[in-house]
Structure 1
Amino acid sequence: MSFNLNIGRILFAVFAISVSPVVAQTDTSSSDGLLKAARKAAFDDDNYPQAKVYLYKAIEKSPNYSDLRVFLGRIYTWTKNYDSARICFEEVLKQNPGYEDACLAYADMTFWNDENEKSLTICEEGIKYNPKSEGLYLKKARVLNSMRRFSDADKAVQVVISLNKNNTEARALANRIRENAVKNRIGVSYDFVTFDKQFSDPWHLVSVDYGRNTGIGSIIGRFNYANRFASNGYQYELEAYPRISNTFYSYVGIAYSDNIGVFPHWRGGFSLYANLPKSYEAELGVRYLKFSGDPTYVYTGYVGKYYKSWLFGARAYITPSTFTSTVSSSYNLSARYYYASADDMLGFNIGYGVSPDDRLNVIQLNGVTQLTSYKAGFIFRKKFSKFNVFTIDGSWLNQEYLPKTIGNQYQFSIGCLRRF
């Protein structure tokens, strides 16, 4: 009897220990417990109605608990009940002026609904009470960028970077603001390529480009001169980067040359870019190449991630067998370290295959059979004075240029960009 009683006590204790966390998780007797339950219902169960029920009950218990109304306002925002969300946020700010989380949530809601002036006012009011808030300065910079007040946007995002140089969202936004901030740019670059086996003469490529920011995005014209295979050639390019929204923008490009063999006869492309949450960016696109024969279409995809002061990226190019003897592909991995501003960067890349976006080597895609090649490279970019950027880069390409015949290619480039 005593033995059975002890076993019963042990089993009861094990049962109590095993279920006590569950009971604690589902405890809704306090305002904090109800807030946790609401978060679980919203995020884990995707059940916004149940989350609101928990929050209503919690607000009855603690009407001055600001986090309850802020989270309720966020749920109203996510479910597009904007008037109700506005009431929640304004009630919190009335009770607790400058409350940071309320300012952040309210600024988001108004920004997403194209109320830029209102969103900016909320950010600035919040900053008065929270002068070191990375989130509020970042949202202020995003709003100012949307309003095309690029100089003010740059000042705001630089505050974020000064507070935390590893803020990845600020780094990504600073890059976009930098491109938008000036109307004009002129660039000049020179590339030198030499081979150990494949060709006896080196290649030379000189590019001059002019770009201008417009109301719909930037437009760039470029002139390229090349000396390859002991022949001279000229190419004319036009690129545009139309903005679609705060999240999406695109790339459209076309290039022409009548010096086939030195350059492709026609080269074109289209891509859709997305600035995604969590400091991600992505691209899907297509490239068009025409030499002397039938055209070739190449499909590309890219994903990038900002992490602290780094930008990591992965890209693939796929050419269907419709255009080559077999399905061909090329891949590239890259890493960039931003050691100061968005123009101060050290980058590295490794890859497999030849890219249609590589102006130096795209001519080597002139053929139905693509052989094996491996690539590694670096880039260094440095801003000097306020509007000038100096760039050097180099690469090594190990390529099977004939079946079972491998050679090395070495490239060095220098360039300068002036914004005004």
Structure 2
Amino acid sequence: MMSFFKHILSGTLICLSLQAEAQLFKKGPDADDLYNEAVKETKAQHYAKAIELSRAALAKRPEFTDQELLLGRLYMLTGQTDAARKHVKAVLAKDPLYRDAYLYAINIELGAKKYEEAACYVDEGLYHFPADKDLMLKKLGILDASENFFQGGIYANSLLEKYSDDTVVTRAYTGHYMLAGHYYQVRGNQLLAQQNYEKALLIDPNNREAKEAITNMYIRNGSYTSAIEQINAELASNPGSYDLMMRKLGLLQDTHDYAGALAYLQQILKRFPNDAKARSMETPLRMEAAAWYANTDPYLLYQGVLEKNPGNREALDKVIGLSMSRGAYREALAWINRGLKNSPNDQRLLALKMDVLESDRKFTEAAAIAEKLRVSNPGNADLKSRYTALKIASGRDYLSQQQYDLALSEFSKALQADPKDTAALDMTANTYIIQKDNARALQVLDKALATYPNNTRFLIKKSSVLADMGQYDEAAGIAAQLLERNPGDERYQANLVDLRLTAGRILMQSEEYDMAAGQFRAVLAEQPNNLDAINYLINMESAVGQPDSALMYADQGLKFYPDNKDLLLKKAGVLTAMHRYAESNDIAYQLMQRYPFTVKYRNAYTDGLLAEGTAYQRNNQPDSALTVFKQVLAVNRRDSMALLYTINLLNGKQQYDSALAYANEGIRYYPNNDAFIQKRAVTLESKKEYVAASAAADSVVVLKNTPANEDYADYLKSKTLKNQFGMYYLNTNYDYTSTKYNIATLEYRHYIPRGSWAARLNYAGRTQGTGLMGEAEIYYNHTPRMYSYGLLNYSNGIVFPQFRVAYSLFKTFKHNIEGELGVRYLKADSVNSISGVASVAKTWKDFWVNFRAYFISDSPNFYTSFNLTSRYYMNHSQDYIMFVAGLGTSPDDRSRLVQFPKLAGLLTRSVGAGYLKTFKYRTSVGVYGTWINQKINDTDYQNQYDLYITLQRKF
């Protein structure tokens, strides 16, 4: 039994331990999982849980900008403004191109009513995303929130021009003018309020709020007639509106036009028979009317007279007059028409009807009656004037309906009646201007100015038309004339300035820079503090390479606007162009300190430092350049240009470890940028760490497979190969014997850090036996400028010399000159030869030339031999063409070693040429040919022909 319980206990413990282990080693969620959970909790409005998840995600991955922005948003949603601001700023510092972060930052500052900070963020966002509609709308919102309605209006107009078909923009445009109208209305500025509401109605003609506001202003000012006219106009487009009809009823009641009010109430009841409010108004309205009239209303009395005596003219006149005085034009018109039935040509009734029609804004019908009266009374000046005015009013009506031909017809008839009428001339010109028919508008204005040469309105319009036609100088001349007549008047000065600025902008677009600059200078002559002209002149002078002038205008602007950040930035740019880097960088640094989160100022500062550093490089001041580039990296450790320049300078100073550290840093920031990996390869090559350098070069090829990158990778790969196998074949023919000499050679070479060593076996078959010769060779570098060459040969004495030793010491001097001193010893048959060797070599770009002299002692004889070798290198020194000329037989000549004892004393001349081709720095194939002419005696010569083929392969 005890054993049974023990088994159960042990099994339980095992299960518990396995569960504990599973919990202990269970992998927790990663940052992406936490982020996704935080998003779900945010959508579910579980903000506290979402914040907790976001913090955990950031703890796992601090550079997770999407997560940090979500955390900032969560703090915004929970009212923790300071925390939200902190995280959104951190996102912008990490990623200045994160668009949504700008929108959040703007919203935070707007909510805190920090409009200047919000403006900084929106300007910075628009710097990176200049055509972003959302950011532009935010800027308009900031201007409105800060009650900067003048600038807001300018910006709203520019937005509408850019996005005229966008409903969001049109709503924002309307909203701006509605807000501005309310602002001015509250402060009692009725004129500006009305202007802003009217601009809102231009885009949104059905905007109820704007219409009500304008109507209410009329009512507060006691302009009930205007208010009723406004509501009638609205009812014309929306006749079934219950609210509009009730508002009109209220106005009729307020003006004590009870008859009209009761009649209108009946119309409302017919349209809305079940409306309790309308039904309940009838009795109180009649009671109020009864109290008002108290049976003494003259209108009712005269109406009663007419009912009994319809022909009573006095009663008719009174009823008509009373109806008109109360604004009941339709009733008045009905009474007049009633009278005209009996007397159709009654001049007084016709005149009254004309008045009623005019009051009811039926100008075309009123003008027809005026024309009829004018024909009947041709000498009546008042009727002529009235006819002209009504034709103009009728034309205006057509113009408002965009019926331009009908409008021009009415204005033309007005001018036929009175060719000098200023209003008719003005409206005719306006109609042509609206239709963009500038030529005809100019004709009308010239005609008007012929009669009224000093009329300001006509002069301003002519100036505007000339400007639209591109005749800016003439337009500006008129504007200057107006300013001269009205010195100090800001309106005329602003008009002249605007003309000059517009002309300058258009000339700039046409690349007429000198003429454009003349316009901007003319602006500054009128307004020395005009910021637009100053900015344009700075830009233009900089663009045409006149930094001195650009600096002058920048300083002029800063006298008026000493803290203007844009002018300061422009001045910094001009100073950089003038190579006055210290002053430029000081300005950019101050701007960066003032606006630490504005990317363009930080970029301006680092760009200035980069320019200063490259100038130091050009002037061969690497230490100063290095100091400046490190300043750039202190501001922005990810600056690619500063990193590359720093790596180059450190390599130039042979500080390879430091250069490698910066190259690795660049790779960390820009893992797919081949330039930094290339710098790493070059630095590792300089350190002779060829394996690592080769791996880096291979990575460059993967990223950017160009012939140059592939060639460099092959070169570095060859540097990692320590062994080489070679095969050589020499074929020698003579013209004095049928015997041929053929020598085959096998070679193994091993590369060591300071040079290489090689072992060779030479084979030559002859009738007298097989010649074998072994060779041991070494190249050893003592210093970067000095190395030794050594050779030891030993053979079986058949064909080849029995023993040969060679040694030379090479030294490189200035100007790529190399000198050699050496000794040779050769033993063959009965010959023991000792030779001294001296040579000098020189490299010119792709050419290499070597002259070598041998001084040969073969006791008791003494000989000399000379050799001139030249090579032309190609394909990054992988291949070359060689030319050789020799005099005498040297102990280094492989083809003549077999006959050296016989040839040593002969006069020998030789010429040869060859070509070596290397494939990927690894495999080399060479072909060489030599002709040798030997003088046997005074009259006899013999010739030798060598063909030498080589093959070498590194592995």
> Which residue of structure 2 aligns with residue 255 of structure 1?
793
Find out whether 1:117 has 2:657 as its counterpart: yes
State the alpha-carbon separation in 1 of the partners of residues 871 and 862 from structure 2.
30
| Counterpart contact for 2:682–2:693, Cα < 8 Å | no
1:414 to partner: Cα distance: 2.5
Higher helix share: 2
- TM-score when scaled to structure 1? 0.62
State the alpha-carbon separation in 2 of the partners of residues 126 and 92 from structure 1.
14
1:126 to partner: Cα distance: 9.1
State the alpha-carbon separation in 1 of the partners of residues 912 and 760 from structure 2.
24
**Equivalent position to 1:374, from 909, 913, 937:** 909
Alpha-carbon spacing, 1:417–1:150, altered in 2? closer, same or farther (3 Å): farther
| Counterpart contact for 1:141–1:152, Cα < 8 Å | no
Secondary structure of 1:360's counterpart equals: helix
> Which residue of structure 1 aligns with residue 196 of structure 2?
none
State the alpha-carbon separation in 2 of the partners of residues 393 and 368 from structure 1.
22
1:410 to partner: Cα distance: 0.7
Query: What is the CA deviation profile of residues 67-92 of structure 1, one whole-angstrom value per residue up to 9, with x for unaligned ones?
Result: 67555756xxxxxxxxxx5x763344
Alpha-carbon spacing, 1:303–1:242, altered in 2? closer, same or farther (3 Å): same
Find out whether 1:66 has 2:613 as its counterpart: yes
State the alpha-carbon separation in 2 of the partners of residues 157 and 349 from structure 1.
40
1:143 to partner: Cα distance: 0.6
| Counterpart contact for 2:758–2:776, Cα < 8 Å | yes
- Which amino acid in 1 is paired with 2:688? N
| Counterpart contact for 2:614–2:625, Cα < 8 Å | no
State the alpha-carbon separation in 2 of the partners of residues 246 and 324 from structure 1.
41
| Counterpart contact for 1:297–1:319, Cα < 8 Å | yes
> Which residue of structure 2 aligns with residue 338 of structure 1?
874
State the alpha-carbon separation in 2 of the partners of residues 150 and 356 from structure 1.
41
| Counterpart contact for 2:869–2:885, Cα < 8 Å | yes
| Counterpart contact for 2:722–2:750, Cα < 8 Å | yes
Find out whether 1:240 has 2:778 as its counterpart: yes
Secondary structure of 2:631's counterpart equals: helix
Query: What is the CA deviation profile of residues 355-390 of structure 1, one whole-angstrom value per residue up to 9, with x for unaligned ones?
Result: 332221234443695332222222233346884433
| Counterpart contact for 1:264–1:289, Cα < 8 Å | no
- Which amino acid in 2 is paired with 1:237? E
> Which residue of structure 1 aligns with residue 221 of structure 2?
none
Alpha-carbon spacing, 1:162–1:394, altered in 2? closer, same or farther (3 Å): same
**Equivalent position to 1:305, from 833, 837, 843:** 843
Find out whether 1:348 has 2:895 as its counterpart: no
Alpha-carbon spacing, 1:126–1:220, altered in 2? closer, same or farther (3 Å): same
| Counterpart contact for 2:730–2:744, Cα < 8 Å | yes
- Which amino acid in 2 is paired with 1:269? A
**Equivalent position to 1:208, from 740, 746, 749:** 746
| Counterpart contact for 2:871–2:880, Cα < 8 Å | no
After superposition, residues 163-182 of structure 1 pair within 5 angstroms as: 180-182=719-721
> Which residue of structure 1 aligns with residue 834 of structure 2?
296
| Counterpart contact for 2:660–2:684, Cα < 8 Å | no
Find out whether 1:106 has 2:636 as its counterpart: no
Alpha-carbon spacing, 1:317–1:365, altered in 2? closer, same or farther (3 Å): farther
Secondary structure of 1:201's counterpart equals: coil
Find out whether 1:143 has 2:679 as its counterpart: no
State the alpha-carbon separation in 1 of the partners of residues 819 and 767 from structure 2.
34
> Which residue of structure 1 aligns with residue 801 of structure 2?
264
- Which amino acid in 2 is paired with 1:107? N
> Which residue of structure 2 aligns with residue 33 of structure 1?
none
> Which residue of structure 2 aligns with residue 329 of structure 1?
865
1:313 to partner: Cα distance: 2.0
After superposition, residues 152-191 of structure 1 pair within 5 angstroms as: 180-191=719-730
Secondary structure of 2:895's counterpart equals: coil
Query: What is the CA deviation profile of residues 118-156 of structure 1, one whole-angstrom value per residue up to 9, with x for unaligned ones?
Result: 34446778998x9789x9799547515366656359779
User: 385-394 or 286-295: which moved more?
Assistant: 385-394
1:293 to partner: Cα distance: 3.7
Query: What is the CA deviation profile of residues 215-239 of structure 1, one whole-angstrom value per residue up to 9, with x for unaligned ones?
Result: 4432211000124685532111011
State the alpha-carbon separation in 1 of the partners of residues 853 and 916 from structure 2.
26
Find out whether 1:194 has 2:733 as its counterpart: yes
Query: What is the CA deviation profile of residues 267-311 of structure 1, one whole-angstrom value per residue up to 9, with x for unaligned ones?
Result: 222234456776x3635141422223434123132414252xx34
> Which residue of structure 2 aligns with residue 21 of structure 1?
none
Find out whether 1:419 has 2:951 as its counterpart: no
State the alpha-carbon separation in 2 of the partners of residues 287 and 228 from structure 1.
30
Secondary structure of 2:892's counterpart equals: coil
- Which amino acid in 1 is paired with 2:940? T
Query: What is the CA deviation profile of residues 314-348 of structure 1, one whole-angstrom value per residue up to 9, with x for unaligned ones?
Result: 23122166867345131222223424x65444433
- Which amino acid in 1 is paired with 2:933? N
Query: What is the CA deviation profile of residues 171-207 of structure 1, one whole-angstrom value per residue up to 9, with x for unaligned ones?
Result: 9xx98x687431222112221100112x441111010
1:241 to partner: Cα distance: 1.9
1:408 to partner: Cα distance: 1.2
Alpha-carbon spacing, 1:246–1:152, altered in 2? closer, same or farther (3 Å): farther
Q: Which runs of 5+ in 1 are unaligned?
A: 1-57, 75-84, 165-169
- Which amino acid in 1 is paired with 2:943? N
- Which amino acid in 2 is paired with 1:118? S
State the alpha-carbon separation in 1 of the partners of residues 812 and 841 from structure 2.
10
Secondary structure of 1:243's counterpart equals: strand
Secondary structure of 1:66's counterpart equals: helix
State the alpha-carbon separation in 2 of the partners of residues 184 and 384 from structure 1.
16
| Counterpart contact for 1:379–1:394, Cα < 8 Å | yes
State the alpha-carbon separation in 1 of the partners of residues 774 and 665 from structure 2.
50
| Counterpart contact for 1:138–1:156, Cα < 8 Å | no
| Counterpart contact for 1:235–1:255, Cα < 8 Å | yes
Q: How many residues align?
A: 335
| Counterpart contact for 1:345–1:381, Cα < 8 Å | yes
State the alpha-carbon separation in 2 of the partners of residues 283 and 371 from structure 1.
28
Alpha-carbon spacing, 1:163–1:183, altered in 2? closer, same or farther (3 Å): closer
Query: What is the CA deviation profile of residues 12-43 of structure 1, one whole-angstrom value per residue up to 9, with x for unaligned ones?
Result: xxxxxxxxxxxxxxxxxxxxxxxxxxxxxxxx
> Which residue of structure 2 aligns with residue 80 of structure 1?
none
Instruction: Flag the structure with larger Rg.
Output: 2
State the alpha-carbon separation in 1 of the partners of residues 873 and 921 from structure 2.
20
Alpha-carbon spacing, 1:320–1:102, altered in 2? closer, same or farther (3 Å): farther
> Which residue of structure 1 aligns with residue 852 of structure 2?
316
Higher relative contact order (CA 8 A, sep 6+): 1
Alpha-carbon spacing, 1:322–1:62, altered in 2? closer, same or farther (3 Å): farther
1:263 to partner: Cα distance: 1.8
| Counterpart contact for 2:685–2:693, Cα < 8 Å | no
Find out whether 1:94 has 2:631 as its counterpart: yes
State the alpha-carbon separation in 2 of the partners of residues 240 and 144 from structure 1.
24
Alpha-carbon spacing, 1:93–1:367, altered in 2? closer, same or farther (3 Å): farther
After superposition, residues 16-27 of structure 1 pair within 5 angstroms as: none
1:101 to partner: Cα distance: 6.9
Alpha-carbon spacing, 1:298–1:240, altered in 2? closer, same or farther (3 Å): same
- TM-score when scaled to structure 2? 0.30
